[in-house]
Amino acid sequence: MKRKHLGAIVVVGLAVVLAAVAATSQAATTRQAKTVTINLYASGDVNVQSLWQQYLIPGFEKQNKGIKVKLIFSEHGVNDTPTLARIGAAVKQRKWPGIDLVDAGLVTTLATDGLTQPVKKATAPNIGNVDKKLLTPVHGAAIPYRGSSVVLAYDSNNVAAPPKTLSALLQWIRAHPGKFTYNSPNTGGSGYSFAETVVDSFMTQNVLTQMQQGYAPQLESNWKQGFDLLHSLNQYVYQGVYPNGNQAVLDLLAKGQIWVAPVWSDQALTALKTKQLPASIHLTQIASPSFTGGAAYLGVLKTARNKVDVYKFVNYILSPAAQTQIINVMSGFPAIPLKLMPKAIQNKFADVSANSLRPTYAQKQQSDFKAQWQQTVP
Amino acid sequence: MVLPPVAVIAVFIGFPVVAAIAYTLGRAGGPNSVVASLGQRQFIVQKGVTFDAYRDILSNPTIHRDLWATVWVTIVVTLVVVAVSWAIALYLRLTDSWLARTISALSVVPLFIPVVIASYAILVFYASDGFIKTVAYHLGFHGFPTLGYTLTCVTLGEIWVNIPFGVLMMSSGLNGVPNNLIEAARDSGATMPRVVRSILLPMNVIPTVIVATFTAIYVLGSFTVPYLTGPTAPNLLGPSMANFFNSFNQPQQAEVLAIVVFVLALGIGAVYVWANVRTGRRSGLQS
Amino acid sequence: MGKRAHGQTLGVAVMSAIESEGVVLGGLPEAQLPAAPLRPRRAVVRGAAHRIAGVVFIVCLLVFMIGPIAWLALRAFSGLWQYPQLYPKDWTLSGWRQVFNDPNLRHSMRLSFEFAPIVTAASTVICLPAAYAFSRYRFPGRRFLLISLFATNAFPKIGLYISMAGVFYSLNLMGTFLGVVIVQLIGTVVFMTWIPAAAFSAIPRSLEEAARDVGAGPLRVFFRVTFPLAAPAILVAMILSFLASFDEAQGTFLVGVPNYITMPTEMYTLVLNYPEQVAAVFSILLAIPSVVLMAFARKHVMGGRLAEGFQLR
């Protein structure tokens, strides 16, 4: 009796589900959209998500009726493997990857591997305004859309005189065990920048230039001294564990667990504005060498759909109005020349702009650097 | 009748597995041309095979540490899961109180919690401001170590995730032991520990082997638990595989790690098959 | 990912039972009697020391198993909560509001609830005939196929995404509803064949033959005799399929972008990126269907029903 009953449950359940399949697949066909949709894949920290979701996309959609932008957001790196696999396979087979525009660390890899549209072919007028120097590391196949730099954050309640140079910083770290940390380079750019800055301080300008402009694996032996120094810092770093991601470092600063750390200026300024960081946290830049900074890139995929509309979107992002928004929301730097920006912004950045920041290595060099850090430091 | 599921697996998993193996041996043609055009530090040959990719990654000191971490965590988790699930299942088998039923219900809870959430919950629980630290603080242990982001936390998380399966399997096995056998032994004066030792234990060998081997295989290949709760390095092979893919752009090395995990899992699986064949043969002799 | 592995293990377990049935039951016809728990025996926990040890073990187990979930649940309603306070000082529902006001999250929740039952149904339809064949016919390569069904699933998926993407593109399945169903189905195949196969094997052939003798056709025999007897095990397999599909994150992302992004994928972002409260709220929401399932299925999963699948012929 009982068993028959159960059998009936299974059968009825199956029938209901199959009916649901039929219903949804029908609904899917009737629900065809008439507007053009641009699919944007973005990965990064939460401030990147809100920049797109709350500002750039609504702003663009308001001006361009009939074009919708769909944001596919992924926490730093978690979905980059499937995404790269997908894009690689799609472009290879000349198919649409389901994604048109990418804003992620991934873009530089895509550009280097020839999966994105060269900027030369871009039809949007504002793209002509971006700094040509920023195109070198990505072989002219990705569009810089905002700049940011890594700065030193410190808790002014506990640190009266922050270190002004790299060597002073290293001294401070040794003098205050457990009060400094940086995230592991493969989980975020702020920790990466600190590690690269330390390693760079041991290298000649010539070697540095080669690594910034191309891939020079034969020169990697020059990293040894820097990595040794980083390794020797393990005992002074907070709990001897490197946090995962830029945000995790900010959290430690906010909770007062550490006093000094490298952070992205845009992220820290935003966190200060939203009170996620207490006002006692101050930001400063160090010298000789300074922390690296750089641009965030957009990549238009070779097999993107509706490229005309995608470029329309990119054009909007590079317009002075949108750039002003990026600066205000993200506290980033503009990607177009200051003279095109409103007066107030020009004054704000009187002595700094995206392209005067110290550049980082080219993409492949960075991958090797992260691998070797993982191998030698923790 | 057998064809549909076998075909699905062969096309969508079997074929990629074969391609992956070929790629680690240096063959970059056909289905591997996409990945080969993306990666760096690759070892490619046109003819024959090369083991350079294996040599490259297996001589990497970080990987050695990750491998050891993986092996140790796997062993500890397996032992604890077997022991705890034996204890719970035995208690269930021998008593029928509301307490036993409550415990059995609680011990399968993790089966129904998605792993992402489980890992997150465990991380928060053992974090520097989590429950354990808070309770320790109130009990006067102000310097109690933080377990979040350590291999201990990974181990605890893996145990948590694997206990339901262990309990289910062990109770199933123990339920298969007939009551009258136990009663007869008790009536002839055997103590309870003796009953456990000479009746329940030998009759529950196969479920024990299953729990041990499959817990071990699960831990070896796990990603989410160590990714969310583990330290930067050394961590289990799952997250370091992801690192080689995403951060270091070395897909060939990542694939080699995948194959290392695969081979270890197959080795453990072989133990299980061997145990089955052996008992199967013995029972064949009996009947 | 995790739940799928559990399913595999269960499937394997059942299979082992197929093979080891002789030793468990050999010469013990009583084993077919329902294995009811024994009467409580005071002797088991004789003495105060034993009892205290037992209580300590149980308390530790409780804290270990339930603590993390309960602690997370508290977070979902808490305002400011700083270490080392034992419980939050103020309470709020803002996390809940944030989740329900986010259209993306709502959409992904709905998708998850659509995919999981469909995948379960599809998997049942595809795999049950295979399970029946595996249990009833001794064809060449039978054991090889059973074992390779499992072995292929032991390969870490992350190493397969690129070639999998190639296959899905070649078959024009990328980004389609069907493609997502397939990628989730892959993880359910093993136990949808193994557990029912064990259950079918447990049903004595003589029963089917008897039904046939009184004139029932093969289909009628299957649906009136075999299927009802195997139903509990099939139900268990279906529940595990449901959970596996519900839990699948990266494969779904690989195939489903841009239209089908389900809850577990969003979960990664939430867990790592949002204020803790929101993540906690979402966790609770994700756990609800599982808890409902558990309430419904516990009796079958725990109450010896699974064990029934082990008592084979």
Under the banding of pLDDT at 50, 70 and 90, the label for residue C83 is: low
In a domain, B56, yes or no: no
Pick from C254, C17, B61, B228: nearest CA to A375: B61
Q: Å from A4 to nearest chain C CA?
A: 5
Higher pLDDT, residue B264 or C38 = B264
Domains of chain C: 2-20+96-308 (1.10.3720.10)
Are the beta carbons of B249 and A239 separated by less than 8 Å?
A: no
- Alpha helical stretches, state H, A222-306: 224-232, 246-254, 265-273
Q: Å from B61 to nearest chain A CA?
A: 7
Is A19 an 8 Å CB contact of chain C?
no
Interface list for A 33-62 with C (CB within 8 A)? 39, 41, 45-46, 49
Q: Å from A241 to nearest chain C CA?
A: 17
In a domain, B125, yes or no: yes
Q: Is the same domain home to B171 and B262? A: yes
Is A81 an 8 Å CB contact of chain B?
yes
**Which chain B residues have a beta carbon less than 8 Å from that of C291?**
112
What pLDDT score does B282 carry? 57
Question: Which of the other chains make 3 or more beta carbon contacts under 8 angstroms with chain B?
Answer: A, C
Q: Are B219 and B77 in contact (CB under 8 A)?
A: yes
Question: Which of the other chains make 3 or more beta carbon contacts under 8 angstroms with chain C?
Answer: A, B
Domain hosting residue B40, numbered range? 1-50
* H/E segment holding residue A21: helix A2-30
Q: Are B245 and B251 in contact (CB under 8 A)?
A: yes
Q: Å from A299 to nearest chain C CA?
A: 17
Q: Is the same domain home to B41 and B157? A: no
Are the beta carbons of A85 and C165 separated by less than 8 Å?
A: yes
Q: Which of C18, C75, C302, C305 to mutate to test the interface with B (most CBs of B within 10 A)?
A: C302
Q: A74: helix, coil or strand?
A: strand
Nearest to A79 among C124, C253, C274 (CB): C253
Pick from B78, B16, A378: nearest CA to C158: B16
Q: Is the same domain home to B120 and B208? A: yes
Q: Is C178 exposed, middle or buried (0-12, 13-18, 19+ CB in 10 A)?
A: middle
Under the banding of pLDDT at 50, 70 and 90, the label for residue C135 is: confident
* H/E segment holding residue B125: helix B115-126
Q: Is the same domain home to B7 and B134? A: no
Under the banding of pLDDT at 50, 70 and 90, the label for residue C2 is: very low
Q: Is the same domain home to B162 and B29? A: no
Q: Is the same domain home to B223 and B97? A: yes
In a domain, B213, yes or no: yes
Are the beta carbons of C251 and A28 separated by less than 8 Å?
A: no
**Which chain C residues have a beta carbon less than 8 Å from that of B241?**
156, 158-159
Asked which of B30, B50, B70 is the last residue of a domain, the reply is: B50
What pLDDT score does A38 carry? 93
What is the rounded CA–CA span in Å between residue A40 and residue C28? 65
What pLDDT score does C120 carry? 94
User: Does C26 score more than 60 pLDDT?
Assistant: no
CATH for B183:
1.10.3720.10
Please tell me what DSSP assigns to residue B12.
I
Helix axes C48-76, B131-138, angle to 10 degrees: 120
In a domain, B55, yes or no: no
Q: Å from C22 to nearest chain B CA?
A: 5
Rounded to a whole number of angstroms, the CA Rg of chain B reads: 23
What pLDDT score does B285 carry? 42
Task: For residues C137-149, give the mean pLDDT.
Answer: 81
**Could you read off the pLDDT of B68-108 as tens digits, one per residue?**
999 999 999 999 999 999 988 888 888 777 777 778 777 87
Are the beta carbons of B41 and A368 separated by less than 8 Å?
A: yes
Q: Is the same domain home to B4 and B116? A: no
Nearest to B249 among A244, A367, A378 (CB): A367
Low-confidence ranges of chain A (pLDDT < 70): 1-34, 75-78, 349-356
Q: Is the same domain home to B114 and B216? A: yes
Question: Which of the other chains make 3 or more beta carbon contacts under 8 angstroms with chain A?
Answer: B, C
* H/E segment holding residue C17: helix C2-25
Are the beta carbons of C189 and B2 separated by less than 8 Å?
A: no
Are the beta carbons of C258 and A72 separated by less than 8 Å?
A: yes
**Which chain A residues have a beta carbon less than 8 Å from that of C175?**
98
Q: Are C234 and C124 in contact (CB under 8 A)?
A: yes
Q: Which residues contact C95 (CB under 8 A, 6 or more apart)?
A: C76, C77, C275, C277, C278, C280, C281
Q: Is the same domain home to B125 and B43? A: no
Report strand pairing: A260-264 vs A143-155: antiparallel
Higher pLDDT, residue C35 or B170 = B170
What pLDDT score does A128 carry? 86
Under the banding of pLDDT at 50, 70 and 90, the label for residue C307 is: very low
Cis peptide preceding C258, ω within 30 of 0 = yes
In a domain, B11, yes or no: yes
Q: C176: helix, coil or strand?
A: coil
Are the beta carbons of A77 and B246 separated by less than 8 Å?
A: yes
Q: Are C187 and C153 in contact (CB under 8 A)?
A: yes
The one-letter code for the residue type at B28 is: A
* H/E segment holding residue A145: strand A143-155
User: Does C25 score more than 80 pLDDT?
Assistant: no
Are the beta carbons of B34 and A88 separated by less than 8 Å?
A: yes
> Is 0.85 exceeded by the ipTM?
no
User: Does C8 score more than 60 pLDDT?
Assistant: no
Is B181 an 8 Å CB contact of chain C?
yes
User: Does C313 score more than 50 pLDDT?
Assistant: no
Low-confidence ranges of chain B (pLDDT < 70): 279-287
Q: Which of B246, B250, B253, B257 to mutate to test the interface with A (most CBs of A within 10 A)?
A: B246
What pLDDT score does B211 carry? 86
Torsion of CA C15, C16, C19, C20, to 10 degrees: -150
What pLDDT score does A174 carry? 95
Domains of chain A: 36-147+294-352 (3.40.190.10), 149-293+363-376 (3.40.190.10)
Torsion of CA B43, B46, B51, B53, to 10 degrees: 20
User: What are φ and ψ of residue A263, in 5° steps?
Assistant: -140, 160
Q: Å from C169 to nearest chain A CA?
A: 7
Is A364 an 8 Å CB contact of chain B?
yes
In a domain, B122, yes or no: yes
Q: Are C231 and C151 in contact (CB under 8 A)?
A: no
Higher pLDDT, residue C38 or A81 = A81
Q: Which of C120-124, C144-148, C238-242 has the highest mean pLDDT?
A: C120-124
**Could you read off the pLDDT of C246-283 as tens digits, one per residue?**
888 878 888 888 788 888 877 776 666 555 667 677 76
**Which chain B residues have a beta carbon less than 8 Å from that of C160?**
13, 16-17, 20, 258
Cis peptide preceding B234, ω within 30 of 0 = yes
**Residue B6: closest CA among chain C residues belongs to which residue?**
C149
The one-letter code for the residue type at C126 is: I
Please tell me what DSSP assigns to residue A260.
E
Are the beta carbons of C174 and A75 separated by less than 8 Å?
A: no
Q: Is the same domain home to B78 and B35? A: no
Nearest to B168 among C139, C246, C301 (CB): C301
Q: Is the same domain home to B138 and B254? A: yes
**Which chain A residues have a beta carbon less than 8 Å from that of B241?**
none
Report residue C21 as tokens: 């049935």
Number of domains in chain B: 2
Q: Is the same domain home to B72 and B20? A: no
Q: C188: helix, coil or strand?
A: coil
Are the beta carbons of A24 and C114 separated by less than 8 Å?
A: yes
Give me the residue label for tokens 């978690």. Answer: A78
**Could you read off the pLDDT of C190-218 as tens digits, one per residue?**
878 888 887 888 788 888 888 888 888 88
**Could you read off the pLDDT of C108-125 as tens digits, one per residue?**
888 888 999 999 999 999
Report residue A76 as tokens: 């730093």
**Which chain A residues have a beta carbon less than 8 Å from that of C162?**
84-85, 88-89
What is the rounded CA–CA span in Å between residue B179 and residue B198? 14
Report residue A70 as tokens: 């769909």
